[in-house]
């Protein structure tokens, strides 16, 4: 059970009184006594004179460990050596089930991002795997894919991360790309093992399509476009404040007239997108409380689901099941047609998220425009215009900025993120824009190495506009480690 269900009024008190700077701290704590006993003691003593809530928590709970705290970085050694030395530090063995812990035990070893993130994250893991592949760690890639397969078998989907408070949502569906990565190393026969999981992953994302009717144009992860075609959206089954950011969500809800349940679901859906948070999701393109993630068909999500459909078709082709192969190829073609029709903005020359509530693209350019290039969905002319826009507007001194808006959110300017650099570089290469791709690669690598040499750290995100400053924004300080930054840099270094 998630922490709010286990600890009730104790959870509420800890998270609203902000006794820790980070709301994630308490939900990751492990009780020193049985959870029921901790709650019982809290209820019995909370009104006593001199009761101190933080002292009570420290007495009854073990705080999350920073596993890298004993790791001594030596920035005089090459960054590649540093990254390879970090794999054991960021590794977790198969988990034990601990009563009262929010951690969902996994049966195989895995790599965590680092910093405050002591659990596995869905989409992060693909970019970490790129580095593991370059480091020859195919064993760890297979362990991680098998952990995600285990979650699909156990839960019917891959949650945001292996925490009980993440069980109401997923993250960008990169599972099919992870399987593809493994096939590169171990051969097509693995498709027999992973096809049932690919199908369950697909069923999760398409859940809701059977609920659509004349009056209902969107249900769960699925939205029907005006011409009857289907595209997907980010969604969360819960409409409560996020447990890991409880105080922040309650404060935001108090600052707006919006219905809090609608607001909380849009916040959670943005977390499912991985872009938490960005002006990309804001109705006015700037104000946090105008977030409307569930009203949008995101271009990156639908490009990823196109790949999932293609991978399922590939698996059926491998098995010789031609009817099923053809059915999934048709689904992929239908999605491609819908994406190109609804998400391409001819006037600006970008792929944008489609606002299906108001019947138009959002008008907010973001680096998600590169995803159709990554999956070879764009026409040559569209790719040409996207490349020109990326070069003119998104390319900064240290690489590519995520959006062109300075909102104070971490997925906006001036920040750049490793996964988006990788998607853009590979997407541009697919359409022959190798010179621009090479320049992005060079600038991003130089920034990563510069920060490493100055701080001894690889970090979660980078300020690509001013290379003398660390990145900012978001609900927590910049985290070091860092899984996907390590993975992408190592892969780019090995080219």
Which pLDDT does position 474 carry in this prediction?
74
User: CA 472, CA 123: separation in Å to the nearest integer?
Assistant: 21
Q: At what angle do helices 138-155 and 175-186 cross, to 10 degrees?
A: 140
Nearest-5° angle of CA 23, CA 24, CA 28? Answer: 135
- Among residues 142, 244, 460, 480, the one annotated as catalytic is 460
CA distance 121 to 253: 27
Which of 192-196, 212-216, 314-318, 325-329 shows the lowest mean pLDDT across its residues?
212-216
Q: Report pLDDT digits (tens) over 329-363.
A: 999 999 999 999 999 999 999 999 999 999 999 99
22-53 pLDDT, tens digit per residue, is: 999 999 999 999 999 999 999 999 999 999 99
What's the DSSP call for residue 478?
P
347 flagged as catalytic: no
| Collapsed DSSP state (helix, strand, coil) of residue 154 | helix
CB 340 within 8 Å of CB 330: no
CA-to-CA separations, 359 to 227, 295, 355, in angstroms, rounded: 11, 10, 6
- 162-208 pLDDT, tens per residue? 999 999 999 999 999 999 999 999 999 999 999 999 999 999 999 99
The pLDDT tens digits of the residues spanning 245-278 come to 999 999 999 999 999 999 999 999 999 999 999 9
DSSP H or E stretch at residue 31: strand 30-31
Which pLDDT tens digit goes with each residue over 292-311?
A: 999 999 999 999 999 999 99
Based on the number of CB atoms within 10 Å of its own CB, is 245 exposed (0-12), middle (13-18) or buried (19 or more)?
buried
Residue 368 has pLDDT above 70, yes or no: yes
Mean pLDDT value of segment 420-437: 99
CA separation (Å) from 124 to 119, 182, 420? 11, 16, 11
Mean pLDDT calculated for residue range 443-472: 93
> How far apart, in whole angstroms, are the C-alpha atoms of residue 167 and residue 411?
23
What local confidence, expressed as pLDDT, does residue 71 receive?
77
Question: Residues 111-139: pLDDT tens digits?
Answer: 998 888 999 999 999 999 999 999 999 99
| β-bridge partners, 399 | 396
The pLDDT value recorded for residue 149 is: 99
Q: Which residues pair with 161 in a beta bridge?
A: 121
Q: Kindly tell me if the per-residue pLDDT of 74 is higher than 90.
A: no
Q: What pLDDT, on the 0 to 100 scale, is given for residue 146?
A: 99
Distance CA 238, CA 272 (A): 12
Question: Quick check: is 276 catalytic?
Answer: yes
> What does pLDDT average to over the chain?
96
Buried b (16+ CB within 10 A) or exposed e, 56-70: bbeebbeebeebbee
Q: Which residue has the tokens 């790309």?
A: 177
263: helix, coil or strand? helix
List strand residue ranges (DSSP E) for 229-283, in order: 230-232
pLDDT > 70? residue 83: yes
165: phi then psi, degrees, rounded to nearest 5: -80, 0
**Per-residue pLDDT, 20:** 97
Assess contact for 271 and 307: CB atoms under 8 A.
Answer: no
Give the count of beta carbons closer than 10 Å to the beta carbon of residue 105.
12
The burial class, CB within 10 Å (0-12 / 13-18 / 19+), for 55 is exposed
* Sheet strand arrangement including 360-361: 296-297, 354-355, 360-361
Catalytic residue (choose from 201, 276, 300, 345):
276
Give residue 469's pLDDT. 85
pLDDT at residue 347, rounded to an integer: 97
241: helix, coil or strand?
coil
CA quadruple 17, 23, 28, 32: dihedral, nearest 10: -20
Between CA 348 and CA 352 the distance in angstroms is 10
- Whether the CB-CB separation of 231 and 335 falls below 8 Å is answered with yes
pLDDT band at 102, cuts 50/70/90? very high
Q: Does residue 396 contact residue 464 with C-beta atoms inside 8 Å?
A: yes
**pLDDT for position 67:** 64
pLDDT on residue 476: 66
């Amino acid at each position: 059970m998630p922490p709010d269900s286990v600890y009730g009024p104790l959870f509420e008190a800890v998270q609203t009184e902000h006794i820790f700077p980070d709301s994630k701290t308490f939900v990751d704590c492990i009780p020193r006594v049985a959870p029921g006993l901790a709650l019982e003691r809290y209820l019995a003593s909370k009104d006593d004179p001199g009761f101190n809530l933080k002292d009570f928590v420290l007495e009854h709970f073990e705080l999350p460990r920073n596993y890298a705290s004993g790791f001594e970085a030596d920035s005089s050694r090459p960054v590649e050596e540093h990254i390879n030395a970090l794999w054991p530090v960021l590794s977790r063995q198969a988990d034990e089930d601990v009563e009262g812990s929010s951690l969902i035990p996994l049966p195989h070893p895995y790599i965590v991002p680092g910093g405050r993130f002591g659990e596995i994250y869905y989409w992060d893991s693909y970019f970490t795997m790129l580095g593991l592949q370059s480091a020859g760690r195919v064993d760890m890639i297979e362990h991680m894919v098998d952990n995600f397969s285990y979650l699909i078998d156990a839960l019917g989907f891959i949650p945001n991360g292996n925490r009980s408070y993440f069980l109401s949502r997923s993250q960008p569906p990169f599972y099919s790309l992870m399987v593809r990565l493994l096939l590169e190393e171990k051969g097509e026969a693995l498709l027999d093992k992973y096809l049932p999981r690919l199908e369950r992953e697909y069923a999760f994302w398409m859940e809701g399509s059977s609920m659509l009717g004349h009056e209902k144009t969107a249900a769960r992860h699925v939205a029907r476009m005006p011409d009857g075609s289907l595209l997907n959206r980010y969604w969360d089954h819960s409409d409560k404040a996020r447990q890991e950011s409880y105080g922040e969500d309650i404060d935001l809800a108090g600052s707006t007239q919006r219905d809090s349940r609608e607001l909380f679901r849009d916040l959670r859906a943005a977390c499912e997108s991985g872009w938490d948070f960005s002006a990309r999701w804001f109705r006015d393109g700037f104000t946090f409380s105008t977030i409307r993630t569930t009203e949008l068909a995101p271009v990156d999500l639908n490009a990823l689901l196109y790949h999932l459909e293609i991978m399922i078709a590939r698996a059926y082709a491998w098995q010789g099941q031609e009817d099923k192969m053809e059915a999934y190829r048709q689904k992929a073609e239908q999605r491609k047609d819908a994406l190109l029709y609804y998400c391409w903005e001819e006037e600006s020359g970008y792929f944008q998220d489609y606002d299906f509530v108001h019947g138009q693209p959002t008008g907010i350019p973001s680096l998600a425009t590169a995803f159709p290039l990554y999956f070879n969905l764009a026409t040559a002319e569209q790719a040409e215009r996207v490349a020109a826009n990326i070069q003119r507007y998104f390319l900064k001194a240290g690489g590519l900025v995520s959006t062109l808006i300075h909102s104070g959110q971490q997925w906006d300017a001036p920040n750049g993120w490793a996964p988006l650099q990788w998607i853009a570089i590979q997407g541009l290469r697919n359409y022959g824009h190798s010179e621009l791709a090479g320049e992005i690669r060079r600038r991003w690598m130089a920034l990563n190495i510069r920060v490493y040499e100055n701080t001894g750290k690889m970090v979660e995100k980078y300020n690509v506009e001013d290379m003398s400053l660390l990145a900012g924004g978001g609900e927590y300080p910049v985290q070091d480690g860092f899984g996907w930054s390590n993975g992408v840099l190592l892969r780019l270094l090995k080219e």
